[in-house]
């Protein structure tokens, strides 16, 4: 759970606590507090079972969107995924930087970089996932965390990325201890790739901030670091 979600939950709990304590003072009936709490619980239940939690995701995204720092972190997090996937030859099909953008594009969840996982899914279905494929995708999944750490010194996002890695490990019937080792290894590999291509990464961040197309973002990554010298 990210920091925005924790903050919103804390504010909600604090608000209902204060309302229950101060309600008699300001002549607010305890029944009002109970109805409000029940209504909120009902909406949360409906969202969970009917909308797969998308309503809550959109609300959290809207609240977090007021923070320029949060938007900058999301941008740099997703640029990390994009750059590492590009260098590891994992096809990128699109990207979004908020849950609202994801909703408009018909994508689930809070958005992010989308990949073509056909090859991975095929190998998983056949039960013969290669070590090379595992390493490539784990490195891409951990690239957002690596990018945040590189830029800010710590990572606030990446919970879903870690969950994806651990779900893969569970599907492969390997121990959680091995998954933790693979997480650290993949994060280090992603960090090394980002450091080695820092100039291209910074250009990519600007391109994604402009919402350039996937093709245009690839061109940014493939263009030379310095412009060619003019002919004599």
pLDDT at residue 173, rounded to an integer:
85
CA distance linking residue 208 with residue 116, whole number of Å: 19
Beta-carbon-side half-sphere exposure of residue 203 (alpha carbons within 13 Å)? 15
Q: What is the pLDDT of residue 108?
A: 58
Contact 120, 129 (CB under 8 A): yes
Mean pLDDT of 119-134: 84
Query: What is the C-alpha end-to-end distance of the chain, expressed in Å?
Result: 58
Query: In angstroms, rounded to a whole number, what is the distance separating the alpha carbons of residues 164 and 154?
Result: 20
CA proximity to 183, closest of 198, 169, 173? 169
Alpha helix (H) residue ranges in the chain? 3-22, 30-50, 54-64, 68-87, 99-104, 118-126, 131-141, 143-152, 159-171, 176-196, 198-209, 214-222
For residue 48, what pLDDT band results from cuts at 50, 70 and 90?
Answer: very low
Long-range contacts of 38-43 (CB under 8 A, 24+ apart): 40/12
- For 68-222, CATH number out of 1.20.58.760, 3.40.605.10, 3.40.630.30, 3.40.190.10 equals 1.20.58.760
Burial (CB count within 10 angstroms: exposed 0-12, middle 13-18, buried 19+), residue 224: exposed
CA distance 12 to 182: 37
pLDDT of residue 232: 37
Arithmetic mean of pLDDT, 48-75: 60
Most confidently modeled range among 13-27, 165-179, 206-220: 206-220
Give dist(CA 213, CA 129) in Å, integer: 31
Render pLDDT for 160-200 as a digit per residue (tens, 0 to 9).
Answer: 899 999 998 888 888 889 999 999 999 999 999 999 999 99
Q: At what angle do helices 131-141 and 159-171 cross, to 10 degrees?
A: 160
For the chain, domain boundaries: 3-50, 68-222
pTM: 0.71
């Amino acid at each position: 759970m990210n920091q925005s979600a924790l903050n919103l939950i804390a504010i909600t709990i604090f608000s209902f606590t204060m309302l229950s304590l101060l309600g008699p003072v300001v002549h607010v009936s305890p029944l009002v507090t109970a109805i409000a709490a029940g209504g909120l619980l009902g909406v949360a239940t409906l969202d969970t079972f009917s909308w797969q939690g998308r309503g809550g995701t959109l609300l959290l995204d809207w609240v977090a969107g007021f923070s320029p720092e949060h938007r900058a972190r999301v941008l740099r997090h997703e640029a990390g995924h994009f750059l590492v996937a590009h260098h590891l030859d994992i096809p990128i099909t699109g990207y979004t930087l908020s849950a609202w953008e994801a909703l408009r594009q018909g994508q689930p969840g809070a958005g992010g970089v989308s990949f073509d996982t056909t090859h991975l899914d095929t190998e998983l279905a056949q039960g013969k996932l290669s070590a090379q494929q595992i390493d490539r995708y784990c490195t891409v999944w951990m690239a957002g965390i690596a990018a945040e750490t590189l830029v800010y010194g710590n990572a606030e996002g990446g919970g879903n990325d870690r969950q994806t890695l651990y779900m893969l490990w569970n599907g492969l019937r390997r121990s959680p201890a091995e998954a933790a080792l693979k997480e650290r290894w993949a994060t280090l590999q992603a960090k090394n790739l980002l450091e080695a291509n820092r100039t291209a990464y910074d250009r990519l961040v600007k391109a994604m901030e402009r919402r350039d197309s996937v093709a245009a973002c690839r061109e940014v990554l493939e263009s030379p670091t310095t412009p060619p010298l003019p002919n004599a």
